[in-house]
A and B are shown apart, each in its own frame.
Chain A
Amino acid sequence: GAVVSQHPSWVICKSGTSVKIECRSLDFQATTMFWYRQFPKQSLMLMATSNEGSKATYEQGVEKDKFLINHASLTLSTLTVTSAHPEDSSFYICSAIAGGYQETQYFGPGTRLLVL
C-alpha cells in the first residue's frame, strides 16, 4: 500500500522554541494532507487540512498562527509548532489522500512532541 513518512518521529524541545514536522507521501502524489493531534487515551483530533499550493484550512479552535502548515509540493507538507509550550506536547499525525475525501487515507507513523 501507499506509504507516508513523518520526520522526526519524536522531538524534545524547550519551551519557546519552534518545531517543524515533515509529512511526505513516498510513492504517490497527495492532493490533500491532514494534520491531527492526539492526546493520551483520546481519539484523533483533526487540526487542519492542507491542499498543495493553497492555504491550509484550520479546524475551529486551532490557532493558525501557532500551527503553521505549508504544503509546498504534492509529496510534502510541514507543520511548524511556533513558540511551543508544554501544553503543545502531544502526538502529531499526518495523513494523505490521492483524490477526494472518499479515498483511503494513508497515515504517517506520527511524531511525539515533548515540550519542556
Chain B
Amino acid sequence: KNEVEQSPQNLTAQEGEFITINCSYSVGISALHWLQQHPGGGIVSLFMLSSGKKKHGRLIATINIQEKHSSLHITASHPRDSAVYICAVTTGNQFYFGTGTSLTVIP
C-alpha cells in the first residue's frame, strides 16, 4: 500500500468547472506539498501546508491533519490548468509521493 493515495487518477473537465483532487496519506507528516507537472515535464510547487487552508489565485489547498487528508481545488478551470497534479508529504526526513492526477480541461 502506498503511503500517499490520490484520487482520481485521471480527470477530464469542461472549461469553467470546479475541480477537486484528493490526497490521503497514512504517515505522520510535518508538511504536505501539491506539485504541478506540465506536459513538458517541468514541475512547480503550488502549495506547501501543514494545517488549514491556502489560496493562490484560482487554486485552493486544504488539509485535515486529523483525517490525514488534503484536497486541491481549482475554481473556474481553464485549459492551461491541464497538467499532472502530484501530492507529496514529508515526515521531516523522508518524502512520499502520490501517483499523480492527470487533469485535462477541455475548452
Q: Which residues of A contact B (CB under 8 A)?
A: 34, 38, 42-46, 91, 93, 95, 100-107, 109-110, 112
Contact B41–A112 (Cβ < 8 Å): yes
A sample of 21 cross-chain residue pairs with beta-carbon separation below 8 angstroms, ordered by A number, consists of: A34-B95, A42-B99, A42-B100, A43-B98, A43-B99, A44-B86, A44-B97, A46-B95, A91-B41, A93-B41, A95-B43, A101-B31, A101-B93, A102-B90, A107-B43, A107-B45, A109-B42, A110-B41, A110-B42, A110-B43, A112-B41
Min distance, Cβ B41 to any Cβ of chain A, angstroms = 4
- Which of A42, A43, A45, A112 neighbours the largest number of chain B CB atoms within 10 Å of its CB? A43
Min distance, Cβ A97 to any Cβ of chain B, angstroms = 10
Residues 31-50 (chain B) with a chain A CB within 8 angstroms: 31, 33, 35, 40-45, 48, 50
B64 at the binding interface (Cβ < 8 Å): no
Residues 5-63 (chain B) with a chain A CB within 8 angstroms: 30-31, 33, 35, 40-45, 48, 50
**Which of chain B's residues has its CB closest to A100's CB?**
B92
Q: Mask for B64-103, Cβ within 8 A of A = 1, else 0?
A: 0000000000000000000000101010110101111000
Contact B97–A46 (Cβ < 8 Å): yes
Contact B33–A105 (Cβ < 8 Å): yes
Contact B45–A106 (Cβ < 8 Å): yes
The interface residues of chain A lying within 8 Å CB-to-CB of B90 are 101-102
The interface residues of chain B lying within 8 Å CB-to-CB of A110 are 41-43
- Cα(A44)–Cα(B35), bound, Å: 11
Contact A102–B41 (Cβ < 8 Å): no
- Cα(A61)–Cα(B86), bound, Å: 22
Min distance, Cβ A59 to any Cβ of chain B, angstroms = 9
The interface residues of chain B lying within 8 Å CB-to-CB of A100 are 92
**Which of chain A's residues has its CB closest to B47's CB?**
A104
Contact B30–A102 (Cβ < 8 Å): yes
- Cα(A109)–Cα(B97), bound, Å: 18
- Cα(A5)–Cα(B44), bound, Å: 13
